[in-house]
Structure formats: C-alpha cells, structure tokens
Amino acid sequence: MIWDNTTLFSDDNPADAAFRKEVREWVDKNCPENLRDRPSRVTPPEMKPWHRKLYERGWIAPHWPKEAGGMGATLEQQLILFEEISRIGAPTPFPHGLNFFGPILIHAGTPEQKAKHCPGILSGEVTWCQGYSEAGAGSDLASLKTRAVLAGDHFIVNGHKLWTTNGHYADWMFALVRTDAEAKPRHAGISLILIDLKSPGVTVKPIKTIRGDAEFAEEFFDDVRVPRENLIGPLNGGWKLATMLLGGERFATGHPRNAAILLNRARQVARVTGADADPAFRQQLAALEIDLLAFTAYYRHGAALHGLGKVPDSMTPVMKLAAGPLAQAASEFLVQVAGPAGASLADMDIHGEAVNPAEDLFEMRRVTVGGGANEIQRGILAKRTLDLPS
Amino acid sequence: MEPILDEQQSLMRETAVRLCKDHGGPKRARALRNAATEMDVPAWMELVRSGWLSAAVSEDAGGMGKGMLDVCLALEESGRQLLMVPFAEVAAVAHILGKIGARAENQLRAIQQGLQILVPALPQEGWGNVGSALPLARSEGGQWFLDGTIKHVPFAQTAQSYFVAAKRSSRKKAGGEIMLCAVLKHLVKLHTVQNVDGSTSSELVMEGSLVEESQVMARGGEAQALLDTLRDLLAITTGAALVGVSSQALDMTLDYIKYRQQFGKALGSFQALQHRVADCFVDIELNRSLVYRVAASYDAGQGHPAMAAAVKARTSRVALSVTRDALQLHGAIGYTDEHDIGLYYKRAIALAALYGNDINQTARFSALTV
Ligand SMILES: Cc1cc2nc3c(=O)[nH]c(=O)nc-3n(C[C@H](O)[C@H](O)[C@H](O)COP(=O)(O)OP(=O)(O)OC[C@H]3O[C@@H](n4cnc5c(N)ncnc54)[C@H](O)[C@@H]3O)c2cc1C
C-alpha cells in the first residue's frame, strides 16, 4: 500500500474508483495553471473561468438535486470531487452561493426565486456573499440589529454588516435582518432576505485582512429598498433557515484535506531546508500525521453514517474542533520547518513551486473563528452531547 | 460515533458489554489488585466460554470467522470495566494461529477450549527493552533449545506457555531465520514485578529451554510475516482497550461534575471545565473511529503497520491525558486510593507503557511513512 494521506481510508467502490480516475484526469487537464497550489488567495474574478469549466462539465454542484441543476451525487462522489480538485492544489469554488445559500434556496425558495437565482449560482455569473455578522453580533448572532421594515411591497433596510467574505466583489447578498424588534426570543424576529448590492443606499468597503489582502468587506445600508419577493421563507422565519444543516454540507467544511496538504507541503519544504534530516522534525511530523489519520478515520466514519442517516448531533462540533486546530498545527509546523523563511513575505521556491508558509499560517487562523468559533462549538458539545448544566 | 455493524455483530457486541459488566468493574479490579492476583480466572473462563478467543479465528481453522473489529469492540468494553485478563494478547495470538493452519491446530484448540493460555513473549517496541531480543534457537537431535531474555511479558505467571519468536543459530540455512514456537512455562525462569494497576510484568529467561519439533509452528518468511502482523495486532487490541479506559474515565468525570457542587452550582456548569471535557470527548471520538477503521482494514487485508503504530501512539497519548484530566476534575477525592477514578488512571499508565508508548510508536510511524 502506498502511504497517501489525502485519500487514506476512502471507500471507493468500483464505480466510485472509476469516477475518481475520471475526475482526476479531467481536473489535471482543465484547471488553469495560475490557480494551482497558489500561496495567495484566489479572487472571485480569477475563480470565474474555473467555476465555468466545472459548470460546463456538470460537476459544479454535486450536492444539489438534479431538478435544481445539480448532480444529485452520493456523498462519496461529492467527496471524490472535492478530494480530486484539491489533490493538485486547485481551489474549490466559493461556497457562499453553491454551498451556503443554494441549499436554503432549494429548500425554502419559491419556484420564481429558484428560477431567478439558481442559474447564476450554478454558472458562476453571479457572485454571492453571506451577510450575517455585524459589529455587535458575532458569536451571539441572534443579537443582530440591521433592520428591514416592511413598507408595502418593499422592505426598507438600514444597518451595517461586517466580515463579509467577497462582499466587495459580490452582486448579491443573502442577509439575516431584524424584521421584528420586539420579538422574544430574539431569533424569532429575524428574516432572511436577498439584497442586490447595486441598489441605491448600499456602500461597500473592503477590509484588509491579516494576510494583507482584502478578503472581506463591510456594507452600510441606508434606506435600501428590497422588494418583498426577495424574502426567503416566512417572515421572521430566517433563523431556522440559516442555522439548519442541510444534507452533506458539513462534510465540505471539515474535510481533512487542509491538514493533509499542509503536511505534504512541510515534507517538501523540509527537503529543501534540511529539516528532513532531523529526527525532531520527523517525530513532530509523525505526531501530526497520526492526528490526521485519526481525524480521517472519524471523517470517513461520519460519511458512512451519513449514508445510513445515522449521523449523531455531536459530529458537527467534533469535526470543527478536530479539523481546525489540526490544520492550524500543521501550518505552524510548516512555518517552523521553513526556518527563517517562515517569517518572509517572499515566496519560497520549492523545486519550482512557490510556497509561502506565512500565508498558509494566516489562512488557517480563520478556520477556528468563522462559522461558529471553536469555543462556541465546545459549549454546544458540552451542553447538547455531554448534557452539562448551564 | 457508533460503529457500523450487521445484526450478528451488534448481538455479539451486546454479549461483550454484558460479560464485561458482570465480571469486571472497579470493585473487582480493586479486589484483584489487593490480593495480587495476576489474572481474573472467572472472567477469563467466561470469555473462553462465550467464544471470544475464537471470534477472530477463521472458520477454516475452527473459529467463528469474525474479525479483529469484533474483538476490538469487546476489548473496548473490557477496558471500560478494567477486566484483568490477557484478552488483547490471546485473541491476537489465536488469530495468528488460525492463519498458520495444521501446525498450530493443537495449540489453537487448547486455547479455544480454555485448556491453555498462550501469551506472546516478544521483545517490545520502544525504550526499556534493551537486552530483550529474539532468543537464539539451536537444534540438537530433532529438538530445539532456546537461549535469551525477554522483558516485560504480561500475564506470564498465569500462562501455561509462551508464544515465542526465536532466531535459528544454524549457519547453513540463510533464508529461514525466524521460527515461531510455543515454550512451556516450567522451562523458563520468571522474575515478576507488579505494575501500578495490579497487572504484572515479567522478565522471562530461557536457558536451554526445550522446544519439541511439534511445538514449532512457522518458519522463515512465513514466521516473519506472522510475527509482524502479531505485533501490529497487539498494538491495535491494546489500543482498543485504551479507548474503553479513556471513555469510562470521561463518563465517570461527567457524572461527578454534574453532581458535585461548589460556589452554589454544579461544577459542570463552569465553562472552563465544560471546554476541557469537550476536548477529551473529541480526542476519544477520533480514537474510537481510528481503532474501528484500522481493525476493519486489517480484517480486509488492507492493514499497514503505520496504522497500527498510529493506533497505539494516539490511544496511549489520549488515555493518559484524559485520565489525568479526570483526576484533576475530581479534586482531592481523585487523589485517594479509595476512589475508582485512580484505577483508570493507573490502567491507562500500564497499557500505554505496553507494546510501545506514544513516543515510541510515533517514531515507528515516522520510520514507516518516510
Ligand atoms: C476570514 C473570515 C471570514 C468571514 N466571513 C464571513 C462572512 O462571509 N459572512 C459573515 O456573516 N460572517 C463572516 N465572518 C464572521 C464570523 O462568522 C465571525 O467572526 C464569528 O461568528 C465570530 O464572531 P466575532 O468575530 O464577532 O467574535 P466574538 O463573538 O466577539 O468572539 C471573540 C472570541 O470570544 C469567544 N467567545 C464568544 N462568545 C463566547 C462565549 N459565550 N463563551 C466563550 N467564548 C466566547 C469566541 O469563541 C472568540 O474566540 C468571517 C470571519 C472571518 C475570520
């Protein structure tokens, strides 16, 4: 057996194995060179041609049902696509439309809403962003204050959204807004609406991240008119839609690939920096790869249970608590393996491939904050699974 | 998460849960420790009677034809209930004997019938095994005589014989170097010490110990391959027991912090403690999946020694950290001999030290995955 930590424990049946091969060959031939193994972040305009290729091949939305224009793929096939795309260091298309909003739209949208928005999400023509967080509403998302007041056939939106990934590139935002200021509990007064970011009264400002680029943005809404038909689901019913887990979504965020890729990178860098001759390096690498192996086993176990409809509630927080810190530890290891170059803004040349350990380090910092910080996940696990009191 | 089992496997697992509950538990473990009893005979007889030592033996060889996964599920329960039996050892040996076929038939039958306990006496992975090497076997008149020392053999006093890998000292045959054989207890010298958890560790000295040709079960390449697999299986089975130890220690701690009040509240309502036990839970959950998956990989003929090393490294590491946290969250009561949580801490120490600890098995993993 060849030790390949990116496909370990995969459960390919013969049909899946054939599919994997097909995807691997196709991705290798079709992914634009400038997107592969790139140390810096890929922007939405740079992503578009690659998104389009996947769309034309019919592989852009493996998890969407066929009626909605997706593949209706099994979870195994979804994972294969995901794994084979990342195997050569190609980026996976942005998740905001395809993974976050798409499944909600398919689940709760009217036929008109679906007809209007699904095609643009699938083709990549329309860039989406997620407007949930605010200055005062992070982990405590239900305290959000951006208001949408119904006035006839329009909502009038006033407020401020923050940390919106791709906000400054996006055409549309799916946003959580307060439609009932009096509601108790607070989350019973929240609705999900779609905001065209080209509407009058919207101001978007990019925010420079710790990586030095502008990945996210903030948006100010001053009396922005949003047609009533842009409400998704019932009025004041947004919280449930936004917090429900749809299908295999959780498997996309917790995939062991981040750590696997970083550890493979550390091996390559070690050959150049001389770290690989040091037993201390090898011991530390092995400890991380053992954690990766355990997490991979857990992940595949979860995928198999998913197929049987038996995934326990604990899986989502466990995956987040395991995957994030592991990827972070791998990125910290990579920085150390690089030696002084680990602190450099310049890329390292690793056998012709550009590697930037600090970029990886910064990129991984986000995974324990975004989408429900790890401290919040621990609380969920302690209360819901371990049954501890408040 | 729950393993994915068919109906028969689920039933078997339930029998293991019941057996270990009925025959084990902290009270029983304490009594055995206090009486310096190396092995729990009634529990062992029950394991034999319910067929657990035949579970991972192929049907061709007279076993039940289940796999190491089933055995590991039972071992998890055995760890949970602190059973003091050589289950991890003998189940692994029985699996290997089943692969050998005719030459091991008698030994295997004797194990399955409860007539003998055959524990592996092999030099172990890692530190503390200097001077522990495969014994040398010389041949004289159709018999073999073994010389050598093996350290840290568990259950050596109770066993009737030892499963030994010896190096043949004959100069003529280059290829067939290793042989697997059974060595009778009364032909070796034992120096036994007690471990922190009441288990034992024996140094086994062979000085011309006789092995009849009929006790030789495999040679050469076959013997080497079986020996390698046996080492892997011991790492995996012991790892499965460690998962049970960790998991039970966490459950006891959860019970304790839900009940114990300080500052007018249950300890379990304090976030610092909630986060700590949540992390323990995550660590254990990953190990459980790892053990199931690796055992199943071996059952499917897709095992890799690095997987076995990973199991022993990580289950050891986590068992030590979880039981240590468990002790901390119990406060002073956890520091008493009287409280059961200490038994789990000590069992974790003993099992983690066996067959290569976290550091040793991590180094081995590294060597296997360059
Ligand atoms: C790179 C990046 C991209 C993002 N993209 C988007 C996006 O596209 N759309 C969007 O809506 N949002 C986005 N976010 C925002 C993200 O959802 C929030 O950062 C997250 O919900 C945490 O909120 P906060 O930043 O306000 O932190 P806070 O809630 O202020 O938390 C700060 C720290 O305190 C801890 N903490 C908070 N409450 C508790 C508690 N009760 N007990 C213990 N510890 C606690 C947290 O775990 C964290 O460590 C993004 C964030 C990042 C980093």
- Output the pTM of the full model: 0.96
The predicted structure's pLDDT at residue A248: 59
**How far, in Å, CA of B228 to CA of B226, rounded?**
5
Please tell me the distance in Å from A307's CA to the nearest CA on chain B.
11
Q: Which domains does chain A have, with CATH numbers?
A: 14-93 (1.10.540.10), 128-242 (2.40.110.10), 254-385 (1.20.140.10)
CA proximity to A67, closest of A105, A17, A20: A105
The answer to which of A189-193, B99-103, B129-133, B248-252 has the lowest mean pLDDT is: B129-133
Radius of gyration for the alpha carbons in chain B, expressed in angstroms and rounded: 21
Residue B2 placed within a domain: no
Are B342 and B251 part of one and the same domain? yes
Q: Is A135 in the pocket of ligand 1 (CB under 6 A)?
A: no
Are B234 and B175 part of one and the same domain? no
The predicted structure's pLDDT at residue B177: 86
Are B259 and B188 part of one and the same domain? no
The answer to which of A6-15, A60-69, B149-158 has the lowest mean pLDDT is: A6-15
- pLDDT, tens only, A16-33: 999 999 999 999 999 999
What is the value of ipTM here, to two decimals? Answer: 0.96
Burial annotation A214-247 (CB, 10 A radius, 16+ → b, else e): bbbbbbebeebebeeebbbbebbbbbebbeeebb
**Could you list the residue range(s) of the whole structural domain that residue B46 is in?**
7-116
Could you tell me the CA-to-CA distances from B66 to B3, B69, B78, B117, B193 in Å, in that order? 15, 8, 18, 21, 35
The token pair that represents A289 in the structure block: 């790869």
The predicted structure's pLDDT at residue B279: 98
- Do the Cβ atoms of B286 and A298 come within 8 Å? yes
Residue B36 placed within a domain: yes
Q: Does A293 touch chain B (CB under 8 A)?
A: yes
Average pLDDT value for residue range A288-304: 95
The predicted structure's pLDDT at residue B172: 60
Calculate the average pLDDT of chain B.
Answer: 96
The token pair that represents A279 in the structure block: 């037993």
- pLDDT, tens only, A133-153: 999 999 999 999 999 999 999
Residue A250, pLDDT above cutoff 80: no
| Interface with chain A: mutation pick from B253, B289, B357, highest number of A CBs within 10 Å | B289
**How far, in Å, CA of B184 to CA of B191, rounded?**
16
What confidence category does residue A86 fall into, taking pLDDT thresholds of 50, 70 and 90? Answer: confident
Are B233 and B351 part of one and the same domain? yes
A3 interaction partners in chain B (CB closer than 8 Å)? 304, 306, 368-369
Look at residues B60, B92, B116 and tell me which one is the last residue of a structural domain: B116
The predicted structure's pLDDT at residue B175: 45
**How far, in Å, CA of B367 to CA of B149, rounded?**
26
Residue B94 placed within a domain: yes
- Do the Cβ atoms of B269 and A389 come within 8 Å? yes
Q: Helices B271-299 and B68-80, interaxial angle, to 10°?
A: 150
The H or E element that residue A231 is part of is strand A231-232
Q: How many domains does chain B have?
A: 3
The token pair that represents B113 in the structure block: 């019938």
Are B202 and B235 part of one and the same domain? no
**How far, in Å, CA of A307 to CA of A296, rounded?**
17
**How far, in Å, CA of B134 to CA of B233, rounded?**
19
Residue with CA closest to ligand 1 atom 31: A139
Quickly tell me which residue has 């990586």 as its tokens.
A211
The predicted structure's pLDDT at residue A1: 44
Quickly tell me which residue has 């991590």 as its tokens.
B362
What confidence category does residue B240 fall into, taking pLDDT thresholds of 50, 70 and 90? Answer: very high
Annotated catalytic, A249?
yes
**How far, in Å, CA of B292 to CA of B74, rounded?**
12
The three-point CA angle B308-B312-B318 to 5° equals 140
Residue B1 placed within a domain: no
CATH of the domain at B199: 2.40.110.10
CB atoms within 10 A of CB A310: 12
CATH of the domain at B71: 1.10.540.10
Q: How far is CA B295 from its chain centroid?
A: 13
Residue B21 placed within a domain: yes
Average pLDDT value for residue range B114-141: 93
Look at residues B116, B147, B175 and tell me which one is the last residue of a structural domain: B116
Q: Is A214 in the pocket of ligand 1 (CB under 6 A)?
A: no
Are B108 and B138 part of one and the same domain? no
Are B284 and B160 part of one and the same domain? no
β pairing state of B143-153 and A154-165: unpaired
Are B197 and B131 part of one and the same domain? yes
Are B88 and B171 part of one and the same domain? no
Burial class (CB in 10 A: 0-12, 13-18, 19+), B282: buried
- pLDDT, tens only, B191-236: 999 999 999 999 999 999 999 999 999 999 999 999 999 999 999 9
- Do the Cβ atoms of A305 and B1 come within 8 Å? yes
Most informative mutation of A369, A375, A381, A383 for ligand 1 (most atoms within 8 A of CB) = A369
**How far, in Å, CA of B87 to CA of B234, rounded?**
10
Query: What number of H helices and E strands is found in chain A?
Result: 13, 10
Q: Where are the beta strands (DSSP E) in chain B?
A: 118-120, 136-140, 143-153, 161-168, 178-184, 189-194, 200-212, 216-219, 261-262, 265-266
**How far, in Å, CA of B309 to CA of B357, rounded?**
10
The H or E element that residue A150 is part of is strand A147-151
**How far, in Å, CA of B319 to CA of B345, rounded?**
8
Query: Which among B269, B278, B297 has the least Cβ separation from residue A390?
Result: B269
Are B227 and B365 part of one and the same domain? yes
Residue B170, pLDDT above cutoff 90: no
The predicted structure's pLDDT at residue A9: 79
Are B128 and B235 part of one and the same domain? no
Please tell me the distance in Å from A326's CA to the nearest CA on chain B.
12
Contact call for residues A323 and A254 (beta carbons, < 8 A): yes
Most informative mutation of A96, A127, A130, A133 for ligand 1 (most atoms within 8 A of CB) = A133
Query: Which among A1, A294, A317 has the least Cβ separation from residue B310?
Result: A294
CATH of the domain at B277: 1.20.140.10
Average pLDDT value for residue range B53-66: 94
Q: What is the DSSP string of A154-168?
A: EEEEEEEEEEEETTT
Look at residues B219, B242, B275 and tell me which one is the last residue of a structural domain: B219
- pLDDT, tens only, B317-365: 999 999 999 999 999 999 999 999 999 999 999 999 999 999 999 999 9
Can you tell me which atom of ligand 1 is nearest the CA of A132?
Answer: 11
Q: Does A286 touch chain B (CB under 8 A)?
A: yes
Are B285 and B364 part of one and the same domain? yes
